[in-house]
Every structure is written in C-alpha cells, then in structure tokens.
A and B are shown apart, each in its own frame.
Chain A
Amino acid sequence: MFQMKWVWHNLAGYKRRYIMALSFVVISSVLVFIRPMLTQTVVDQVLVGIPMADGTVFRNYDILIPLLLGMVGIHLFRMCMLNAGVYNCDYASQGMLINMREHLYDRIQTQDRTYYDRNRTGDLMTRLTGDLDTVRNAVSFVFREFTIDIFLFLTTAVYFFTINALFTLAVLAVTPLLLVLSKIFSKRVRSKYIFLREKLSEMNTKAQEDISGNRVIKAFAREKYEIEEFAKKNNAYRKANIDAQFTWLRYFPAVHVLANTLTITILLVGGIFIINGWLTAGELAAFAALDWAISEPMRNIGLLLNDLQRFFASADKVIEMYYQHPRIVDSPEAVELPGRMRGKVEFKDVSFKFDGKTVFSGISFVVNPGETVAIMGSTGSGKTSLVNLIERFYDVSSGAVYVDDIDVRKLKLSSLRGGIGMATQDVFLFSETVDGNIAYGDPEMDEAEVRRFAKITASDFIDDMEDGFETIVGERGVGLSGGQKQRIALARALAVRPAILILDDTTSAVDMETEKYIQKQLKELDFSCTKFIIAQRISSVKDADKIIILDGGKIVESGTHQELLGRDGYYREIYELQHGTGKAGERSGAE
C-alpha cells in the first residue's frame, strides 16, 4: 500500500480539505434516508390521516406545507453538501496533482544524461499524462465513492442490527464471499492493467517518434509502413483494453449475483421469519426499503476495485519516476565559486567509461583562462564526452577535472554550469521566439543585448524574417536551416557571457565565409572567455592556442597549427585532405 502513502504524502496542504470533502459526501449520502421518512409522514398524517377516537379521520393539513418545505430544504442542504464535497475532492486532488507534478518536473530537469539514454520520451510522457490522470481520478472519484459505499453499508448494517440482529446476520451472510471474490479479482485484473498501460506507453512512444521524425518518414516515403506499424500498437492497446474490461465482465455476474442475494434473502428468509413469527411485517418493510443501501455498495465494489487496480498500475509507474534520483548531484561539501569563474580547466589523468567501455584514459592537459583549445579526432573518438566532463554531465571514472583549480565534483552544479556556455552538435531550440531562444540562459536580457549577440554570431538574418526576433521557431528549430539553428545556438551560448565557452561542432553547417566572420567576432568578445572548439574543418581550429587530437582513447597530438603541420601526423593528413595538397589532393584532383 505504498501507493496510498505516497498519495497521502502528496496531499500535503490539502489533507484537511480532502477529509472534509469526504465527510461532506458521506453526510449527504446518509441524509438520503430522510426524504422517504418525510414522505412517509405526509402519507400517514395528511393523506391517510390519523383515525380519531370518534371514528373520524384527522388530516393534519397544517403540517403539509412545512413538511414539504422541509423536504425541499433538507434536499437543498444535502445537495449543497454533495456539491461542496465533490468540488472539494476535485480541489484537493488537483492540489495533489500539482504537488506531484512539481516534484516530477524537478526530476525531469535534473536527471542525468544516462537516464535519457534509457528512457523513451513517449514513455515519460505517458507517465506524466495518462498515468498521473489515473492517479488523480482515483483520489477525486474512486476513493470518494469507496468511502461513500463503506459508510452507507456500515450505517445501514448497524441500523439493521438494531432492528433484528438474527435477520441481519442471515442477510449479510454472503459478504465474506464477496470479499474473497474481490481479492481474487483484484489479483487477476492487476496484471491486465499493468499490461494495458505498457501498451499505452508503446503507442505513445510510436506516435511521439513519428511526430518528431516526420521528415525522415517523408524522405523515405515510409508513410504506409508507419501507418501499419502504428496500427499494430493501436491494435495492441485496443486489445489490452478489451481484455481488461472482459476480465472485469467475467467477475461481474458473480459480484452482482452476490449483491442481489440480499434482495432474495430478505424476501425468502424474511418471509420464513415472518411466517414463523421471528420478524414483524413492519420490520421487514424497513429492511426492504433500505435494501438498496446495502446491495448498491456491494455492486459498486467490483467496479471500484477495477479502478483501484488501474490506479495501482499507473501509480507504480509514476512512483518509479518520482523516486528516481539523479546520480550527479551536489556533494554535501560542494562550494560555490567565489565571484566570476576565471576559466582555467585542467584534466588530470582522466579516464572515462561509458556503457562499460573505455572511451578514453590517461587524459591530462591544462588550459589557462582566455586560451582557445581545439579538439579534433575521428568520429566517435570521444570529443563530446571530453567536453561533457567539464560541465559534469558525466562523472569521470578515474582522475579528475578541475575548473579554476577546484575538482568539478566539489563545485555546486549551478555554480559550475552557470559559468560555462555550450553549443552542442545536436541543436535543440525551444518552440519560442528567436528572442526567447537567445535569451534562454538569461531571460531578463534586454532586446539590444539579444541583438548584439545575434550580430556576433551572424544571426541577424532574423531581422529579415517577417516577425524578426519575435518569430517563433519550431521545436528542434525545424523552421530553420541547419546553419541558422547553429548560429542561434551559438548566440544562446554566448549570451550568458560564459567564462568557458564550449563549441561542439557548432559551425559545421555554417558556410565558410560566415564562419570566418564568427571566428573574428569570437576573438573580440568583451568578456574573458576560455574556448573549447570541436570541429572537423581545419579552418575552424587553426587559430587555436592549442589543438588536441584524440584518437583511440588517447591524446595523440597536441600543439599549435604550425607545430602540428610540421609533424607528419593526423592533423597534417587532415589538412592535406581538406586543401587538396599532397597525396590525397592528387587523388581528388584526378577525379
């Protein structure tokens, strides 16, 4: 029942309101008994009248209006209670939802990269939408109905006992059977709901990816294939849904038969009791009148258990996400940097493993504030991993990374990352205005500043757009070309005035002329900035103070453009390939 505890915990701030709301609905449901009583009085005293000693019948017309008004009044009161109860159940459940969402949102934002490697966006979305809604529904509806049913059942049972204990026992004899049945049913249906929400998640994932990957689908003319694939997921979900409902329907007759045995026992046993004189007709009438108040809760229980199991299946998934703690967090003794980061970076004998495989080992180098370091190497040689260690998106396997002479693991993440600006390979822009995207790291930034950074990165093409800086770009920036996205991403990174700027292949899709312009601008920044540049083009790296070549998990070359050209190594080879000189150049010239 951890799920219940978790729900209760998240009702923080709304617990009292929730309890109050439940009491309201309970009161209103118990008040149901009053209306028939008043009707009875009207019938007895006004309609039928009271036989007088003198043989006449006294019809008490005077109480008619007050009684009828009372009937309306009590009903009004009851409805108000119910309305308030229902509304406040919703209110409390919405409050709980917010508590959960806020916590889950924090989880989303602070998870490690590895978490996102393992989990599909569609699945996470399922948890945040469908699953959470099931949990909310449980609190606002299922638990409420449970409470009403239990109260109705208990009060009626107690009332029955006061009338005739023996008869009550006979009537309620079937309840244990119902409990056993419920237990078996719950167990059976649980797995169905776990399966069902798995299918929902799969369908959600498929839809999500096909929306994100719509360009690839079109490029390969795979629409039909995707439609068929989606149909499979859609169908699996449909079947799981039907299966879950059929499971319930298999138990439905048994539950309803048991609930209805009440009606039958009242009649059969009641009849026999009366015939034997163990029960009066009036007493039986009382039982018969409230028959529903006992059998209705029993009938409902099956449906509610069904919903309850659905709740458990979903809650488990949300809870999993809720308690998933990121591994990379501030250590207890983490410190803030005093003032602005200077921008010194040092790798000391760093090794890094990913997925159990060594990406690189024994990496050592020092970069002084303001220097520019370029990193080159073959595809998959670990360039990106290396710069990710500076931001501490991963922790080193051994050795240490220092920023301003402090081990990054001993720095507060916000302080570390706040000093670093990064533009990644895979440009992700938010569906926001261009202005909002550039000012992402500093939402307070005024428009003039945004424009200035746009100019530095040659992003002023934005001005030519119809809405200028107010143009909304799509998610992944798909309304823009690759080069445009990269330039905006670069402006975004610069706009935080970082002490360390990491450009991970950020200008690969930018044409050479523009790149040259950007490089020139980067040299003239009005703040000190250590730069890391990962690039494939010689033109992007040649001006660096130091060029590092990564290969086979080691630094194989390191030095300036001139120094490396002097050596017959990787760098020189790349240079020749790109500039059509030497061996490689002959080959391309011949073609």
Chain B
Amino acid sequence: MEQERQVSAVARNKFDIDESLESPFNIQHLKRSLVYVKKYKGKMILALVFSLFSVIAALFGPLIIQEALDVAVANGDIPYLLLLVGLLALSIGVSILLNVLRSRITAVVGQNIIYDIRQDLFEHLQQLPFSYYDNRPHGKILVRVVQYVNNVSDMLSNGIINFFLEIFNLIFVTVFMFILDSRLALVILAGLPVLVLIVLLIMPVQRRAWQNFSNKNSNMNAYLHESILGAGVTQIFTRERVNAEIAYTQFHNCRKSFLHAVFVSNWVWFSVEMISVIVGAAVYGAGILLIKPMATFGTIIAMGDYSWRFWRPITNLANLYNNLINTVAYLERIFETIDEPVDIQDAPDAKPLPPIRGEVEFKDVVFEYDQGHPILNHMNFKVKAGESIALVGPTGAGKTTVINLISRFYDISSGKVLIDENDISKATLHSLRSQMGVMLQDSFVFSGNIIDNIRYGKLDATYEEVVAAAKTVKAHEFIETMEKGYQTEVNERGSRLSQGQKQLISFARTLIADPKILILDEATSSIDTKTERLMQEGLNELMKGRTSFIIAHRLSTIQHCDRIMYIDGGIIQESGTHEELLRRKGKYYELYMSQKEDAAV
C-alpha cells in the first residue's frame, strides 16, 4: 500500500508555485470561446442590430437641435419648436428602448455563456482521475470554476457587440473623412501606426503581467483554502504567526502583480488619448498652415470634429483590448483545465457491464506508477462469486492497489482484470463502479444532513431503508441520540461527528447502494471493537451472496473470511483460509503469532 502511491512529483503543485503556462499569446483561446458565443448567434446579431439602430436614432439628436436653434428659435416659431422637441424626445425614446432591449439580450446571453463554460469545466473535472486532484491544491481548482469563469462573462457578451459597434463606427467615420478631405484624413490616420506600434510594444508585457497576477491570485486562494481546512492543525501547532507571514507575503505578491498589470495597462488608454489630441491639433495646424490652398473653414471644423469621432471608438476599443488581455489570462486557465487529458475513460467500444454475479479474476496483472517500478508484478488470482477475500500483507505490498484496480480507478500496465469474465477495460465506467461498493480509508462527509449523506449510496432510498442500513452498521443508535436525529446537519470538517461515526455513516452509505462487490479498505479502523463486532453480524448477513474484499490490520476482523490472500512484493505469496494458512506456518502465521504474542504480554 505504501510505495504504490509514489506518483511522480514533477507535476505536483503547491500553493507557492506558479502554474507555468508557456504558450504565447494565442488567438486560439479566443476563437475557442467563440464556440460558446455561437450558440447564441441569433440573439447576438439581434442585439447588435438593436445597438446599431439605437446609435443611429441617437445621431438624429444633434441634427434636430441644430434645426431647432437655427430655424425654429431664430424665427420665433414656437409650434415648429414644439414639433422638433417632440421629434427629439422620440429619437431619444427609441434609442433608450433599443438600448434596454439590447442589454436584456446581452445580460441573458452573457450569463448563459458562462453557465455553459462553467458546466463544461465542471463536467470535465468529474472525469479527471484522482491524480489530477492529488497533484494540486484544491483551492487552485476551485478558483477556476468560480472566479475565473465569472471574469469572462462581460467580454464574451457585451465586449463582442461593442467591438462590432466600434468597428462599424470607425468604418463609417473613416469613409466620411475621406469624402470630405483625403489629405486631412491621412493626417488623422497617421496616428494609427504609432498606436499599433505602442500596443505591440506593450502587449507582451501586459499579457505577462495579467498572467502573473492570475498566478499570484491562484496561489493566494490555494493558501487561503488550505488555511481554512487546516485551521485545526494550525491551532494545534500554534503556527498562526508563521502562517500569517506566509499569507501576508501572498497578499503582497498579489497586490504587486495587480498594480503592475494595471500600471502597464493604463498606458494603453493613455497613449490613445495622447495620440488623439496630437492628431486633433495637427488637423488644425496642417489645415491652416501646411495645406495649400488652405482648407476651407467648414472643412477644418468638420475634420476637427471627425478626428474626435474617429479616435473615440479607438479609445473604446483600447479599453476593450485591455479587458480582452485580462480575459484571455483567465480563458487560458479554463481551457487548460478542460484540455486536461482524461486518463481513465470509457473505451470507444465500451459496453455496459451486465448485472455482476461477482466473479473477479486478475490475469497476469502488472501495474506500475512509474515506468520500471512495478507495484503489482504479474499477479494472478480468481475469486468465485460470493466469496469473501481478505487481503493482508506488509505496508506497501499493494493491497489498496488491488482493490483500486477492481474499480478501475487506475489502468493496469498489462494483463487483464475480469469481472464475470468481462474485461473491465471494455466496460463502461459507470456500469462498473455503480455496482461496486467501495469504502475508502478517507470517510468523506458532505455538508448536509445525515440522511442525505447515507442516501448518497442510493438516491431514492426511503427513510426506512436508510434506517435499516444505519441499523446494520450500528450507526442508528448514535444518530438517534443526536439533536435532530437523521436531520442533523454535518459538514466536511465538522466536529459533530467523530471519526468513527463518520466511518459508520460512510459504511451505511456503501451498504445502501446494495453493491454486488463490496470493498472495505480499513473501513473500520476507527470504530471500536465492540461496535465492529456487533456490526459483523449484520455484515455477515449482507456479505452472503456478494463478493467482498477486505483490508484490515486487526486480524480479528478478517479471520472468518473465506479466503485470506497474503500479498507481498506485488504478488500473492499465500492464499487459503485462516486455518489453512496457520497450518502452513508461513508468513501469515508469523504475522498472526506476532499479534498474538504481542497481546499476551
């Protein structure tokens, strides 16, 4: 059980290690996120159309005002003035209405998109193997599912529409500028290459800065998450001061990286603003002094106005661009997780496993975590349906590995694991695991009440069934004495339940699932012997007709099994009933005697 878990440490991550991401700025991430947007293409186009009309409606405003001042007011024509004011109100009203419609659409689309991304991310996480969760702080996974996804919503809804709007705007203005005076238009456009140059210079720095921030933020979250979970341990070791210093360092790193990213990003709009005013001034200068013959009064005024109208969308685009760079830093992480390979998955031709009778066979099974370090070394055994098997052996012999392979939590390197003569690598994971009852060493309790925790094994279990399961494992008694009985709220780290009680609850959870194959890995280690013995009677009843695998260090727990397999060095050294193995006077005998002697002192 010991060496078998030596997963290579290379890929491991802890709170203060940045997760490296080498890929250069990749438009692919953006393209990929557009797949999510595409689903709402119709709505997005509708929103865009609304926005366009809203902009056009708003354009009438200045025209109407001009007409009112120049004509209606100049002539003292109050009825005409009223008419124009009415028109103005109408254009404003239409503009507002269209704006609301657009915003309603983008609100829904934006939320739908992040719902979809989050759901995809979560679904993928459900498929990822243990090792994914073992290799990084959980806080870093959590931050991606919740925060990162939240951060991309605006960019993928409003951002896209605004982008198109501003581009339209820009094209529109450019065309008008050239119609009016192509020479001055060139002056205005001359600012663009400068801007592009600046953006190209800033972009790599900016992108790295936001990536860096997302790293530091992720590190900090991982540390906070661990600090909450480990608060108990911290208090035991009075390490509050040391931890606080580490945490403070994280906070400061976070701040530093954020301020740096902001500092760099701010130069983008700063540059745009400066270029726009220089260009604006240049239009007057060039129009008056350089261009011969001098441009007309009207042209210069209009071009000055256009210059402003041209650069305003660019300012907006620059802000969009800033958001984009920021968003991409998050998208990268999200897609990185979605792309994480699923090691263990249904084979393409996988079929559901028929109802299991309970025959288990290992045929020449080799299993290694790292190449060349086999944990199981050509292991062979066959278990008949309904047999109870105990696995014993020194730590690191491979007991837990054996049972992990039966549920296909890991894939074997060579050989075959058969259940009822079906190769499990060709069965669907769901059909396999849903018929197994695995009780792990770690008894995890979900936050919620006790009854729901037991029901996890069988979601539609009635109250009576839950109670029956609890009675079988002798958990009923203590649950009944709790304030709210089965409705008592418990949580992951809660101290309402002792470790032994948690084990009893996860035991009940396993039993209620009515598994065809029952696997108990040190499932009763924290349960007192008396309770365990009481449970045994109910269990024996249950184990009839079911294949079961039991790992336990207390030999008294396993003596009655049909067969005891002594595992060492990745193979089965001895196999037989308790009595047979004692008669053989081999390794099991030694183990048994040492425990016995030990007690007889």
Tell whether, in the assembled complex, residue A484 and residue B498 are in contact, meaning their CB atoms are under 8 Å apart.
no
Tell whether, in the assembled complex, residue B433 and residue A64 are in contact, meaning their CB atoms are under 8 Å apart.
no
A380 interfacial contact with B, CB 8 Å: yes
Tell whether, in the assembled complex, residue A48 and residue B297 are in contact, meaning their CB atoms are under 8 Å apart.
yes
A155 interfacial contact with B, CB 8 Å: no
A282 to B118, CA, bound (A): 58
A174 interfacial contact with B, CB 8 Å: no
Instruction: Please give the distance in Å from A235's CB to the nearest CB on chain B.
Output: 7
Count A/B pairs, Cβ under 8 Å. 504
A275 to B82, CA, bound (A): 13
The prevalent SS among residues of B at the interface is: helix
Annotate A99-137 by CB proximity to B: 1 below 8 A, 0 otherwise: 001100110111101101100111011101110010000
Minimal Cβ-Cβ distance residue in A for B493: A116
Most-contacted residue by chain B among A79, A234, A420, A536 (CB, 10 A): A536
A53 interfacial contact with B, CB 8 Å: no
Of A43, A270, A378, A430, which one neighbours B530 at CB under 8 angstroms? Answer: A378
Q: Could you tell me which residues of chain B, from 397 to 432, have a CB within 8 Å of some CB in chain A?
A: 400, 407, 409, 429-430, 432
Tell whether, in the assembled complex, residue A379 and residue B478 are in contact, meaning their CB atoms are under 8 Å apart.
yes
A431 to B226, CA, bound (A): 8
Instruction: Please give the distance in Å from A455's CB to the nearest CB on chain B.
Output: 15
Interface size class of A (residues with CB under 8 A): 35 or more
Tell whether, in the assembled complex, residue B103 and residue A431 are in contact, meaning their CB atoms are under 8 Å apart.
no
A555 interfacial contact with B, CB 8 Å: no
Given A211-B125, A510-B553: A431 and B15 within 8 A (CB)? yes
What residues on B are CB-neighbors of A430 within 8 Å?
226, 230, 233
Instruction: Please give the distance in Å from A59's CB to the nearest CB on chain B.
Output: 8
A83 to B262, CA, bound (A): 10
Tell whether, in the assembled complex, residue A377 and residue B528 are in contact, meaning their CB atoms are under 8 Å apart.
yes
Tell whether, in the assembled complex, residue B226 and residue A467 are in contact, meaning their CB atoms are under 8 Å apart.
no
Tell whether, in the assembled complex, residue B227 and residue A220 are in contact, meaning their CB atoms are under 8 Å apart.
no
B6 interfacial contact with A, CB 8 Å: yes
A340 to B498, CA, bound (A): 32
Annotate A350-388 by CB proximity to B: 1 below 8 A, 0 otherwise: 000011110000000000000000001111110110000
A481 interfacial contact with B, CB 8 Å: yes
Given A219-B433, A220-B433, A579-B556: A472 and B14 within 8 A (CB)? yes
Given A263-B61, A271-B81, A272-B78: A472 and B147 within 8 A (CB)? no
Of B225, B240, B553, which one neighbours A511 at CB under 8 angstroms? Answer: B553
Q: Could you tell me which residues of chain A, from 495 to 550, have a CB within 8 Å of some CB in chain B?
A: 496, 505, 508-514, 516, 536-539, 542-543
Tell whether, in the assembled complex, residue A249 and residue B107 are in contact, meaning their CB atoms are under 8 Å apart.
yes
What residues on A are CB-neighbors of B133 within 8 Å?
211, 214-215, 474, 478
B186 interfacial contact with A, CB 8 Å: no
What residues on B are CB-neighbors of A476 within 8 Å?
229, 442
Tell whether, in the assembled complex, residue B108 and residue A242 are in contact, meaning their CB atoms are under 8 Å apart.
yes
A13 interfacial contact with B, CB 8 Å: no
Tell whether, in the assembled complex, residue B442 and residue A482 are in contact, meaning their CB atoms are under 8 Å apart.
yes
B88 interfacial contact with A, CB 8 Å: yes
Of B114, B146, B277, B439, which one neighbours A71 at CB under 8 angstroms? Answer: B277
Of A35, A86, A111, A212, which one neighbours B266 at CB under 8 angstroms? Answer: A86
Q: Could you tell me which residues of chain B, from 505 to 529, have a CB within 8 Å of some CB in chain A?
A: 506, 509, 513, 522, 525-529
A381 to B499, CA, bound (A): 11
Given A208-B142, A484-B2: A428 and B496 within 8 A (CB)? no
The 5 closest A-B pairs by CB, nearest first: A379-B500, A221-B433, A425-B499, A591-B560, A482-B441
Beyond A116-B228, A219-B439, 12 additional contacts (C-beta under 8 Å) are A39-B284, A91-B259, A252-B103, A270-B73, A379-B504, A428-B232, A430-B230, A475-B138, A484-B2, A509-B522, A510-B553, A591-B559
A sample of 26 cross-chain residue pairs with beta-carbon separation below 8 angstroms, ordered by A number, consists of: A72-B278, A94-B259, A111-B231, A113-B232, A116-B495, A117-B496, A125-B221, A125-B228, A208-B142, A209-B447, A214-B133, A219-B439, A220-B513, A256-B96, A257-B96, A271-B68, A354-B496, A381-B528, A431-B14, A431-B15, A481-B400, A483-B2, A511-B553, A536-B529, A542-B601, A579-B600
